[in-house]
Amino acid sequence: MEKAVVGWLGFVLPEPVSFFIKSGVLLLLSGTILWIALAAHYPAVHDTMHNVRHALAVVPCH
């Protein structure tokens, strides 16, 4: 990550800051994927994930 940050921003971030940024990106992407899979009302996603949504019993879809 530091090498990519050096080339992109022109400076090196300390390891704790780099870890914090990487962790935040991972959590954001994970949350987005879960929302798309479990809460989106887009028919293609809803129909594909319908049985999973009911099996989890935490996401109502009707």
| 46 found inside a domain | yes
Would you state the pLDDT for residue 3?
56
pLDDT tens figures, 31-59: 999 888 888 888 888 888 888 888 887 77
> How far is residue 28's CA from residue 62's CA, in Å, rounded to a whole number?
27
CA distances from 26 to 20, 21, 35, 59, 62 (A): 10, 9, 14, 22, 30
Count structural domains, the chain: 1
pLDDT at 28: 97
Task: Give a yes or no: residue 61 inside a domain.
Answer: no
- Return the DSSP state at 42: -
Q: Across residues 8-37, what is the average pLDDT?
A: 87
pLDDT for 40: 80
Q: Is the pLDDT of residue 26 over 90?
A: yes
Q: What is the pLDDT of residue 56?
A: 82
- Domain with 40 in it: 2-56
